[in-house]
Amino acid sequence: MVRTDTTSARDRTRSKGGLSFEHNVTGDDGQRRITIHQDVDPADGSRITTAEPDVDTLAYDARPTAPHIPGSGERYDTCGDPFHGLFCPDCAATQEVGQTCQRSRCERCYKSWCFRRAKTQVAKLESLRHDLEQRESGWQKFHHLTVSFRPDVRVRSDDPVKQLRKITQALLDQIGVEHGLAVFHNYRIKPEYCGDVFGHESGDGDLNWCNILSEKLESEEWPAAAVYDEFLEYAPHFHVFAVADFVQCGAVTKQIADDTGVVIHRISDDDGKSLETIEDLAAATMYALSHVGLKQRGNSYRACYQAFGRLANHAAEDWALAKADDACRETASDVLGLSLAKPECDAHIEPATDNEDMVTPDDTDDPIEAMNSSGLGPTTATSSLRSSTASAGTGHRTDTSRPFAAGGDQTGLLSDVPDWINEPICGETLTQSTERCGTTMRPIRCAGEYLESVDWCETIDEGRLDGLKDAYTEYQDLGKPEPVDDPPPTDVDTDAPVAD
């Protein structure tokens, strides 16, 4: 039960841990200010207070908004241009793929941006779930929730979306959610156009977000501004992906709605299960990030999503990254309309029985230093052509390791990367004396460490080696485009480790 505040609004909003917001009173010209006192136990009925705003207090006039969505901008001239972006670490064959700019607003490349960001967050959530189970000896589950504010919500902050996220976290404390990912959405599809939309009530139409992004924003007939005006309405809300053993809903969330006007909804199936598998989590996370709110800052845009609780500083382990990669690739076609099969080498090679002299991890004692995939420093990899596939991909970006803020978006860079298509532009024909290589391809950025290894080069056909050198030179001439995503190491086990 909420209680009426008997102290002045100014004193209460200055109290330790107080988070306040305002909205209009339904059917009245008045306003209501709601304050959540974070220094009060969530089970205490006095944690949430309401009051009429005093005329002498500072105005709550900041409207939380992030008016742009992924795919609503223009592509670079080089987006989609072919280059030799992949190479095989076993036979040095190369594949041509399209360049990708990594930008969230690019009308062509936003899907790759979404996939990469979703994979990182899914891996962190899966890794944290396992960690909590090991530490707390309890069954931890994934939960998908929406936290919806009224369209007239206002806060007093220089960063209204951030303030609204803090309020969301405080309300989630009331229902037992402490760790997770909050994704801000600025819009909902108007009821007259809205069809079956994941996590929301259906309207009178037949459109979903895939239609908005792929059929409207990618169409030359619909400028972004026209899409916003015609099909979307302002409706600030968060999609939350949480790790918890249990989430209190029912009477608790109804009371929160009565006290604050904020509607918290746990999305579940008929059996009460929210996100039963990691594939469910991957699909829901990619869906949420596909139309996350973007805020412009200068010439760049920042995606408004943020990890909270233990997830904020949690680094995913390799097994979780590999598992998340599999889950996101499996569901990307349905969610994003993007085929993300693992790129495999289609070159024909001599059967393995003829390659007994190939370099193995035991043939060399000298490691070579290679830049890891985060670009933040060196990692040690052996010069073995087989072990390098695993070791060169062990440095992964997380929100706590990369040099830009969570949800950040880099622009103005030549960050052209492959779309991870699985077929080369110019394939080779197998003969009776050869077999398909089938090795997982690597980004051309990683080729330098292989070319510097004398032992590895001696195992490669001279013609293919020259071709790889030419491809690596091309990559350098293009400005060393940064890969959007490394194929996962082929020998990483996706099973979580079991505690002794």
Determine if residue 234 is left, alpha or beta; phi over 0 gives left, psi from -120 to 50 gives alpha, anything else beta.
beta
Strands (E), 343-393: 348-349, 368-371, 378-381
- 105 near 294, Cβ under 8 Å? yes
CA–CA gap between residue 280 and residue 267 (Å, rounded): 12
DSSP 153-210: -BB-SSSHHHHHHHHHHHHHHTTT--EEEEEEEEEEE-TTTB-S-TTS---SS-B-HH
The helices-and-strands tally (H runs, E runs) of the chain is 12, 18
pLDDT in the model for residue 463? 94
Amino acid identity of residue 301, one-letter, is: Y
CA–CA gap between residue 239 and residue 136 (Å, rounded): 26
How far is C-alpha 159 from the chain's CA centre? 22
Strands 82-87 and 442-443: antiparallel
Determine if residue 419 is left, alpha or beta; phi over 0 gives left, psi from -120 to 50 gives alpha, anything else beta.
alpha
- 141 near 243, Cβ under 8 Å? yes
The pLDDT tens digits along the chain (500 residues) read 444 444 444 444 444 568 999 988 766 667 889 999 999 998 888 899 988 887 656 688 899 999 999 998 989 998 989 999 999 999 999 999 888 888 999 989 999 999 999 999 999 999 999 999 998 768 899 999 999 999 999 999 999 999 999 999 999 999 999 999 999 999 999 999 987 766 556 666 788 888 888 788 777 888 888 888 999 999 999 999 999 999 999 999 999 999 999 999 999 988 889 999 999 999 999 999 999 999 998 888 999 999 999 999 999 999 999 999 999 999 998 898 888 778 899 998 876 544 444 443 333 333 222 223 332 222 323 223 333 333 333 333 333 333 334 444 433 333 333 343 333 334 444 455 568 899 999 999 999 999 999 999 999 999 999 999 999 999 999 887 655 444 444 445 556 665 54
**Residue with the two structure tokens 């969505």:** 69
The Cα-based distances of 179 to 140, 165, 309, 470 in angstroms read 11, 13, 4, 48
Phi, psi of 417 (to 5 degrees): -140, 165
Of 282, 326, 277, nearest to 490 by C-alpha is 326
Token couple for 100: 């990708």
Strands (E), 283-328: 294-297, 300-303, 305-308
**Residue with the two structure tokens 């009426």:** 4
**Residue with the two structure tokens 């690019």:** 106
CA–CA gap between residue 471 and residue 449 (Å, rounded): 14
Amino acid identity of residue 142, one-letter, is: F
For residue 133, give every residue at least 6 positions away whose Cβ sits within 8 Å of its Cβ, in sequence order, or none.
139, 140
At 484, is the secondary structure helix, strand, or coil? coil
Phi, psi of 194 (to 5 degrees): -75, 130
Of 245, 239, 244, 242, nearest to 264 by C-alpha is 239
Domain ranges of the chain: 3-51, 82-101+339-477, 110-336
Amino acid identity of residue 156, one-letter, is: R
DSSP 435-473: EE--PBPEEGGGHHHHHT-HHHHTTS-HHHHHHHHHHHH
CA–CA gap between residue 120 and residue 398 (Å, rounded): 7
Strands 48-51 and 141-148: unpaired
- 193 near 325, Cβ under 8 Å? no
Q: Where are the alpha helices (DSSP H) in 77-159?
A: 110-136
Instruction: Compute the CA torsion angle 362, 368, 372, 375 (nearest 10 deg).
Output: 180
Amino acid identity of residue 307, one-letter, is: A
At 108, is the secondary structure helix, strand, or coil? coil
pLDDT in the model for residue 432? 54
CA–CA gap between residue 13 and residue 478 (Å, rounded): 54
pLDDT in the model for residue 95? 92
- 230 near 111, Cβ under 8 Å? no
Strands 294-297 and 263-267: unpaired
For residue 247, give every residue at least 6 positions away whose Cβ sits within 8 Å of its Cβ, in sequence order, or none.
143, 145, 175, 176, 177, 266
pLDDT in the model for residue 221? 86
Across the beta sheet with 3-4, the strand order is: 3-4, 48-51, 31-37, 18-24
pLDDT in the model for residue 369? 29
DSSP state of 344: B
Say how many Å lie between the first and final Cα of the chain, rounded.
46
